A and B are shown apart, each in its own frame.
Chain A
Amino acid sequence: MASIEIQSVTKSYGPVPVLHGVDLSIGDGEFVVLVGPSGCGKSTLLRMIAGLEDVTSGEIRINGRRVNEVEPKDRDIAMVFQSYALYPHMSVADNMSYSLRLRKTAKQRITAAVAAAAGKLGLDPLLERRPRALSGGQRQRVAMGRAIVRQPKAFLFDEPLSNLDARLREQMRAEIKRLHHEIAATSIYVTHDQIEAMTLADRIVAMHGGIVQQVGSPLDLYDRPANLFVAGFIGSPAMNFVKGQVREAAIETGDGSRVALPAALELAERHAVIIGIRPEHVRILREGERDGHVAGVDLVEPTGFGTIVHVRLLGEDLKVYTLDRSAAEVGRPLRLALDAERLHLFDGENGIRLN
């Protein structure tokens, strides 16, 4: 097992910069998820850790040892590819034992290692099959088995679940988490799916435009996002945003309504701000409750457990998430209150968190 240090790492393809200076420290046995939209640089960073891309500047250290110039085959890390990259002309057993065969490991040790990994992943009946005779989920497990067999210093996952259908993805997510508890290996996992990030990670690294936006535990990012990007990316349904201006120690929104400032902040008059509030923190007031704001209901989306209500509030289209199925009807206005404790405030210019 290993710790991985990433220091001031940048990456450019010719004149085009892709990563602008990433600093990250990954502890032994930690499960870190790199999450962000396409093109944010997460896969590039992963590949640089693997040694498949060169480091333009900065340093990557595995267990304290600089590995910038070390070939992938000498870094002792294993990778699970998005496309699985299984060797088509080899059986599952051969696929899994390839790395050991390259190292001229003794045959008995190979068989034992393959059997152990296959056991953990339920691959025993499939050992003699070719990849083309396997389903997507099975191939995914073979790809993981191939990585486990090597007992590497670290596991790298490059969007491994993207090619699976929704049901399978849920299943595999749980399996990956369970495996991590069993093997407790240092793992770096890349995905664009924030649910995977939330459920799998010990720590999440949110990336956008080649820059690390925030690093922290899943709930840290959920409860206290550091900027607009993280706030809007983490959590589903996504956070609501309302633009406004600071006016006499309160916030005036586009339609003239006033919202109290969430904390004692020193802000200039007419400073542009953005209020963030999660759909589940907008409360639908009952009959007879006063205060709150009036909102028109545009659309109601039942999802079985909860209901997403699309409303027009404070001059913007917002979503409300309620567990009460009968709370809303299209056309019937609602009285809504924003939970003041859960209000996020972001700077209108640079999106950075203010409270």
Chain B
Amino acid sequence: MPSTARDAPRFDDRRTAFQKLGCLLEPWLYSAPALILIVTVMLAPLVLGISYAFRDIKLLDPFSGGFVGLKHFYALAADRAFRGALVNTLWWTFTSVLLQFLLGLVLALLLNQPFRGRAIAQALCFLPWAVPSFLSGLDWAWMFNPVVGPIPHWLYALGWMSEPANILANPEHAMWGPIVANVWWGIPFFAITMLAALQAIPKDLYEAAALDGAGPLERFRSITLPFLAPTIAISVLLRTVWIANFADLIVVMTNGGPADRTQIVASYIFTQAFRRLDFGYASAIALVLLVLLLVYSMLIVALRQTLLARH
């Protein structure tokens, strides 16, 4: 029977065992390929990875692999580079998400009005998302490079720099490079999700408000924002987690430098794993990152529950 509804226990169920089994299994059969893939390729390594955090795994050392307990975590606690990476991660995540969100929202609002050429404008504005992230990183790195790029020269011309120099080589400001690249690449995501949400708002609400005498700002505040709020919340939450984990741009543009000033936790993990081949230590760092992100997510969920309960 098509299981389109949950049913009370049946007193008089004369289906064959085969039929009952088929009915129960049906949704699982449809989801099986996806689930198998996820479990084997993502969960199994995850569990393995967590175990590595407690073992000594150096790829090139055939004698490594022994259980070392919390040794990595002690080392982590004392690791100044790690603490620097934590701070950088906060800075990186916060600034990227804020800028992407604000600029993406504005773009979505702009695109929500019909105008001639809107389809083309929309396609072009969303294009940066199609650009492979590493390419975007390289591209922006080149644009920041005074040798082949225009940006240092423009900044110099604007008076913001004393001489055309490469921001990426400046420990103080190097982080802006990847941030700008990240914002450029990430605006389309926010714009697309917000645009979809904006288009789902019934137009008559605006008409009714306009008749009632509400100006554009007032309509935005009392109609648009409340409707957008859930979408904003979900997008921001997901992207924050995603960006905190996003190491590609940094690895490509600055490799964490100069002097580890752009190193975030995710890129630090990569460096430890890929460059130094110390899988154990890398896994320990990753585990800490995972725990931090879980705590963050649960805080958000708790926040959402309290907000919902209050209404």
Contact = CB atoms under 8 A, between A and B. Distances in A.
Q: Do chains A and B touch in the complex (CB under 8 A)?
A: yes
Contact of A54 (B7, B11, B16): B7
A69 B11 CA distance: 13
Interface string A1-20: 00000000000111100000
A13 B15 contact: no
Binding site of B, secondary structure by majority: helix, strand, loop or mixed? loop
B14 A12 contact: no
B4 A53 contact: yes
Interface in B6-55: 6-8, 10-12, 14-16, 19
Contact of B12 (A12, A13, A15, A57): A57
B8 A69 contact: no
B309 interface: no
A27 interface: no
A299 interface: no
A205 B78 CA distance: 80
Nearest to A58: B12
A74 to B, nearest CB: 11
Contact of A69 (B1, B2, B4, B7): B1
A71 B1 contact: yes
Chain B interface residue number, banded? 10 to 19
A216 interface: no
A13 B14 contact: no
B12 to A, nearest CB: 6
B6 A13 contact: yes
Contacts of A66: 14
Nearest to B8: A12
B60 interface: no
B139 to A, nearest CB: 42
A52 interface: yes
B148 interface: no
Contact of A56 (B4, B10, B14, B19): B10
Contacts of B12: 57-59, 68
Contacts of A71: 1
Contact of B6 (A14, A52, A58, A72): A14
A51 interface: yes
B5 interface: yes
Interface in A47-66: 51-59, 66
B14 A54 contact: no
A72 B1 CA distance: 8
Given A68-B14, A69-B14, A54 B5 contact: yes
Contacts, number: 38
Contacts of A72: 2
B7 A52 contact: no
A72 B2 CA distance: 9
Interface residues of A, number: 18
Nearest to B15: A69
A318 to B, nearest CB: 38
B57 to A, nearest CB: 50
Contacts of B16: 69
A306 B297 CA distance: 68
B10 A53 contact: no
Contact of A52 (B4, B8, B10): B4
A56 B16 CA distance: 16
A12 B11 CA distance: 12
Interface in A14-58: 14-15, 51-58
A14 B15 contact: no
Contacts of A51: 1
Contacts of B10: 54-57
Nearest to B1: A54
Contacts of B1: 51, 54, 69, 71
Nearest to A14: B6
A15 B15 CA distance: 22
A58 B1 CA distance: 16
Contacts of B11: 57
A89 B6 CA distance: 31
Nearest to A44: B5
Contacts of B19: 69
Contacts of A58: 12
Nearest to B6: A14
A56 B2 contact: no
Contacts of A14: 6-8
A173 B11 CA distance: 40
Contacts of A53: 4-5
A14 B10 CA distance: 10
Contacts of B15: 69
Contact of B8 (A56, A59, A68): A56
A15 B8 CA distance: 7
Contacts of B5: 13, 53-54
Contact of B2 (A52, A57, A68): A52
Contacts of A13: 5-8
Interface string A63-88: 00010110110000000000000000
Contacts of A52: 2, 4
B250 to A, nearest CB: 47
Nearest to B10: A56
A56 B6 CA distance: 11
A51 B8 CA distance: 16
Given A14-B7, A66-B14, 16 more contacts: A12-B7, A12-B8, A13-B5, A13-B7, A13-B8, A14-B6, A52-B4, A53-B4, A54-B7, A56-B8, A56-B10, A57-B11, A57-B12, A68-B14, A69-B15, A71-B1
Interface of A: 12-15, 51-59, 66, 68-69, 71-72
Interface of B: 1-2, 4-8, 10-12, 14-16, 19
The 9 closest A-B pairs by CB, nearest first: A12-B8, A69-B15, A54-B7, A57-B11, A54-B1, A14-B6, A56-B8, A69-B14, A57-B12
11 contacts: A13-B7, A13-B8, A14-B8, A51-B1, A52-B4, A54-B1, A54-B5, A57-B11, A58-B12, A69-B14, A72-B2
